[in-house]
Every structure is written in structure tokens, then in C-alpha cells.
Amino acid sequence: MLQGIKIVEICGIGPGPFSAMHLADLGAEVIAVERDASGASRVNVLNRGKRSVIADLKSAVGRELVLHLIEDADALIEGMRPGVMERLGLGPQDCQARNPSLVYGRMTGWGQSGPLAKVAGHDNNYASLSGALFHNGASEAPPSSAFATLGDVGGGALYLTIGLLSGILNARATGKGAVVDAAIVDGSAHMLQLMLSTRNLGFMSDERGKNIHDSSPFYATYRCADGGFITLGSIEPQFYSLLLEKLGLQADSRFVWQWDRRFWKEQHQHFTELFSSRTRAHWCELLEGSDVCFAPVLAPSEAALHPHNTARGTWFERDGLLQTAVAPRFNGEVVQPASVPKTGEHTEQIMGILNSPARGSVWQSS
């Protein structure tokens, strides 16, 4: 769907590479500029679909390579601390002087401005400051972070991607580029808007352990006899009634009043004991595929083998690397992502084109 869109990625860690991979998955042409040649034989699944070159950005040659590449590019992605790209002579003004329609994507945790802009941080720090981490986990335990998904991917990479595509659409209409300030602290805060909409309905508060997802017995995670876990999400009355029917509890007076919080603790304790009495496989056989709103908690290696995921082709293995399929899908088709290059695999090819007396377009050579 994104054929003809050209992206230069200044490689870093986490959300920037994920965003660039996502764009490549959807058809964009991506050249990844790697700054470290020490892993030249290494493969990184976040580089799938890209071409990889190695360049020292502190050198005149490396700087000129990037400036050559962005001449015909739609966007650049970088994830350094504020001011670093400017010191390298590759900041937005430098690059847009070479290509005025360039969309310059800046991926950071804290953003390009603010008191914390230049300090170090990671996914869990940004999500905690934005408010997104607060409600994760049970009330008696510290809030927990789902590794890299809540901040780096959800609040970071996906917001950078939509910012880039918005900027590219505008640039193609007006000829004018833009600078996209994609901060994880902003994106993960923006994701809370759906949760905030439930506050007026009385479902959420600023107290942990007093909300549907962290204290109700019908929207919870339970341990099974074999150490596995299952999740329930039986919020709507018809789903809750079906749950009680499946568990043989429809006549139990303790479960009549679903929304009476006075009974939640006792109900939760009963469910805890019940689910811990049988294996995860038992509960899957009883509840999976029904409208109870149920699913087992699967490790990635297990998820890759689940019948629903295999039917949809959600996971695959190539060259010994477990990977996830391209998302979203268009017209019901599963897009097959391109291969994962070795670090620097295309350096000689691209440098040869750029150094040729009759220099051609690197974007037409794959």
C-alpha cells in the first residue's frame, strides 16, 4: 500500500526501527543507516524489508551519504537525544535545505522540549510519567510494564508512523516538509483518552484496585492448576450470565449481583480457587470459542502455535527467526514481508551508485 514512499532511517534502538519496519512491511522503500559496523554479520528482525548500509555519521563521508539519500526521500527517521543530529550537521534545517519536502521524524521518549528532554529514559519511565502505567497490575502489587509494547511501540512507534504518513500526505499536496516530534510520553498519554471516556460512566478512578480491570472478578487473570493463566472479560450482562452457566454458578446467590462491589472480593476468591483446581487446557476446552470473553495467557512461542493464529498466519518462522506477520491486512490478504538483511549488507551497492559519475537513483536498485 505504501509503494513509492521512500524512508531513510538513522538506526537506533526500539521505536524508531519498529516504525521503519512497519512502513517497510506495508510497502515503503526503507534504507537503514547503521552506525556500528561491529555487528556486520548480525541479523535483526526489525530490519526486515529494509536495505542496510553502514556509515560513520561523525565523518564527512557519512554525513554526505545521508544527505545524498534524503535528496529523493519522503521522510527521515532518527531517535537521538535532542540536539545530537544538529551537531552532526544532519538536523532538520540541514536536511530540508537539501530537500524542502522532507518529513523529518524525531522519535524520543520525552520529546524535543521540556525539562526532561535531554535526559535518559526507557519505555517504563515514559509510560509511568504519562499516566499510562498507573493502572497496570493488581492493587497489592506495583504497577507493571508490558515490555516495550505500552511505551516504545504503542505510545512511540505507532504515533511516529502516523505522524510521518500525515506529513507525507501534506508534503505531496503542498511541497512543504514538516518536523514530527513523536514523544512516547505524549503518545502513551494520548492512548489514555479511551480510558478517560469511561470515567464519566463511573468505571474508572484514580485509585488502583477499585476499577473494573483491577478489582472485578469478571475482568481478571487467574492462575490454573498447572501454573498457566487464563483471562476473563465478561463485562456485559449476557457474557457474565454465560460465564456463570458454563461454571455451574447461575444459581449461586453470591454471583447474582454482578455490579455490587461489596461482593467482588468474595467472588474473586471463589473464582481464584475454582480456576486453580483445573489445568489451563481444561478451561480452554470448556470456555474457549464461547461468548464468555475468554482466552488463555500464551507465551509468544505458544501463541505462534494456537489454531486461531495459525489459521490467520499471524506468526511465522523464516531462517530460524520467529516473526509476526504484517498488520493491518488489506482486502483480507496476508502480506508477506521481505527478508531480513545482514547489517551493512547493501553498503557497497548503495555507495557504488552514489559514487558513480553517472549517479543513478538508489531507490531503483534493490
Give ∠ CA 274-275-277 in degrees, rounded to 5. 70
Q: How far apart are alpha carbons 113 and 196 in whole angstroms?
A: 26
Tally of CB atoms within 10 A around 301: 9
Closest by alpha carbon to 45, among 334, 346, 327, 341?
341
Let me know if 152 is a catalytic residue: yes
Distances from the Cα of 208 to the Cαs of 123, 182, 199, 221, 229, in angstroms?
21, 29, 14, 16, 22
Closest by alpha carbon to 30, among 76, 79, 71?
76
- Active-site option among 25, 74, 123, 152: 152
Q: Which three cell numbers stand for residue 142?
A: 506495583
Whether the Cβ atoms of residue 200 and residue 211 lie closer than 8 Å to each other: no
Coil, helix or strand for 219? strand
- Active-site option among 122, 213, 270, 282: 122
Active site residues: 122, 152
